[in-house]
Structure 1
Amino acid sequence: MYQYNKQLNNSETNYFIVDSSSSAEHNDVDFKFYSYQNKSNKQITTGDLFIYRRSGSASEWGNEFYLYGAGEFGEVAGEDPETGSNLVTIKNPYLFSHHLMKQNLRTFDWKFRKFKGKWSNFFNMNGITQISKADFVGLLERQKNMVPDEPELSPEEESIAVKCYQAEKMESYFINDEVKGISTFNAVNKFFSDKVKFNNHYKSVLVANQDESELIATRIVPWDDDKNTRLDARNGICLSKLFSEAFTKGYFTFTDQGHIIVSDTASSNPEINQLLDKYKSRKIYMNKEYSPNKNYLRYHREHIFKQ
């Protein structure tokens, strides 16, 4: 939260949760611009801090809302007198390390309003809910604590992580090893890891009821093999640690339809062989939008899988 120290120490700073659909219709662009009705939302001022919420109606996750980032309201970039809308710039954007879903928030100690066990009408219908400073700080701490092993990123790396999010939205998946002399690996991994896990509902594609702390967003095409796949979440597959290690070393792979193929060389590693033996007939669920890209699976079969 280092980037918000100045605002947090300012007694005049207000704090909000704002809904964003990131749609052209509303002129919202995540981490760049936010539009709102200026007549009914006069409490927002430059320098205030906010947390992004994707409402259930705009959610990709079965109509379930989630929180996914934070920022600071900047200057007004445009006003529309016909609609009464302001378009404000976003400063100091920050991408969450872990989406905060309903199950991650049920034990959260809200200060601005008492949570009575139901989310209906908990957040304001106009899409802007004023919260307390303690709520803002607590939510940022909660998402960070859910990924305890993630390395601490510099401000420059945090900025790269946000740019990864924006690039992936535009279906642009290329990134170099460095940007302006800053290594991109940790920043990309922050974005990529949570995106892959989010797409898979924070569950392994193979093992039911897997402890989330055991999950790894595993690259199908390795990082060093193709810079054009680094930001593509469909180059990731959510596996437990042991399966991730076995997949990365080529002890098993998948067909285009998602069926497991186990390498004959797995027998040389008793632990891996025992692990994979009971999964030989398994098939992971494949959907059109989030499942692994078949070109990437083909690459894994041809270049990583131990024939």
Structure 2
Amino acid sequence: MYQYTQQLTNPNTNYFIIDSSSSASHNDVDFKYYSYQNKSNKQIQPGDLFIYRRSGSASEWGNEFYLYGAGQFGEVVREDPLTGSDLLAIKNPYLFSHHLMKQNLRTFDWTFRKFKGKWSNFFNMNGITQINKEDFIGLLDRQQTMAPTDLTAEEESLAVKCYQAEKMEAYFINDNAKGIPTKAAANKFFSDKVKFNYHYKSALVANDDEEDLVATRIVPWDANQDIRLDPRNGICLTKLFSNAFTQGYFTFDDRGHMILSDIASDDPETNKILNKYQNRKIHMNREYSPNKNYLQYHREHVFRK
């Protein structure tokens, strides 16, 4: 929260949870612009802080809302007198290291409003819910606790750019950006995006222990700069399977069935578990299932034949 130190110490700062649409036709651009009705919503001022919420109606995750980032309201960049809408610039954007889903918020101690066990009408229908400073800090702490990261301010900014690039299906990222190594920032975005796509569960085994889950690249980071930000180059696996997959002890066919290498691992316990899951099919989803070209690369260049 280092980028919000000045605002957090300012007694005039207000705090909000705002809904942002995932629709490309909407004026909102995550972490860049926010559109709102200035006539009916007078409480927002430049310098105020907010947390992004994707509402259930706009969610890609089974109609479930989630919180995914934070920022600071900047100045008005465009006014529309016909609709009464203002377009605000977003400053100091921050991408959460872990989406906060309903199950992550069940034990959260809200202070702005009493949570009575049901989410209906908990957030304001106009998409702007004013919260307390304690809630803002607590929510940022919660996501950081669930997926700790230790990035510089420059790397945090890069993580946001990775998020925006992926939204535009631009998956290339170089090793460095203006002299800053990109891997840590890209991995922050990529790791949570892949786990989010797989509903924070292993694609191969019945395991939803998040501490044991790894967003595993199919094509290694160093092999292709053009696909580094593509979530379809990732599979959510447990640590044991992630290590074995990365080392080429098994791969997948185009339909997602596991193919076991004839070359055994040095660890007998790993071999025993891999044999148990031979021919097991991973979860495949039309929108985020592994790209078949990436699976072919893994079979040809990583898999131990």
TM-score when normalising by structure 1: 0.98
> Over aligned residues, Cα RMSD in angstroms?
0.9
Offset at residue 267 of structure 1 (A): 5.9
Compare 241-250 and 17-26 and name the one that shifted more: 17-26
Offset at residue 24 of structure 1 (A): 4.0
Match of 1:132 in 2: 132
Conserved in 2, the CA contact under 8 Å of 1:32 and 1:89? yes
1:52 equivalent to 2:52? Answer yes
CA distance in 2, matches of 1:194, 1:40: 35
CA distance in 1, matches of 2:284, 2:108: 34
Residues 248-263 of structure 1 mapped to structure 2, 5 A cutoff: 248-263=246-261
CA distance in 2, matches of 1:136, 1:230: 32
Match of 1:41 in 2: 41
CA distance in 2, matches of 1:268, 1:22: 46
1:180 equivalent to 2:178? Answer yes
* Deviation sequence 1:93-113 (CA, Å, 0-9, x none): 000000000000010000000
CA distance in 2, matches of 1:132, 1:267: 53
CA distance in 1, matches of 2:26, 2:255: 38
Amino acid at match of 1:14: N
% of aligned pairs identical?
A: 77
CA distance in 2, matches of 1:12, 1:197: 37
CA distance in 2, matches of 1:183, 1:285: 33
CA distance in 1, matches of 2:181, 2:279: 41
Match of 1:220 in 2: 218
CA distance in 1, matches of 2:127, 2:145: 27
Match of 2:11 in 1: 11
| Ranges in structure 1 where 5+ consecutive residues have no aligned partner | none
CA distance in 2, matches of 1:212, 1:302: 30
Amino acid at match of 1:193: S
Match of 2:269 in 1: 271
CA distance in 1, matches of 2:173, 2:265: 37
Q: Structure 1 residues 301, 48: CA separation in 2 closer, same or farther (over 3 Å shift)?
A: same
Q: Structure 1 residues 267, 4: CA separation in 2 closer, same or farther (over 3 Å shift)?
A: closer
Offset at residue 268 of structure 1 (A): 5.2
* Deviation sequence 1:33-84 (CA, Å, 0-9, x none): 0000111110000000000000000000000000000000000011111111
Match of 2:194 in 1: 196
Secondary structure of 2:25's aligned partner: helix
Compare 194-203 and 278-287 and name the one that shifted more: 278-287
Secondary structure of 1:71's aligned partner: strand
Q: How many residues in Structure 1 have an aligned counterpart in Structure 2?
A: 305
Match of 2:93 in 1: 93
CA distance in 2, matches of 1:113, 1:24: 32
TM-score when normalising by structure 2: 0.98
1:236 equivalent to 2:234? Answer yes
CA distance in 2, matches of 1:284, 1:197: 14
Offset at residue 260 of structure 1 (A): 0.3
Residues 148-187 of structure 1 mapped to structure 2, 5 A cutoff: 148=148, 150=149, 152-187=150-185
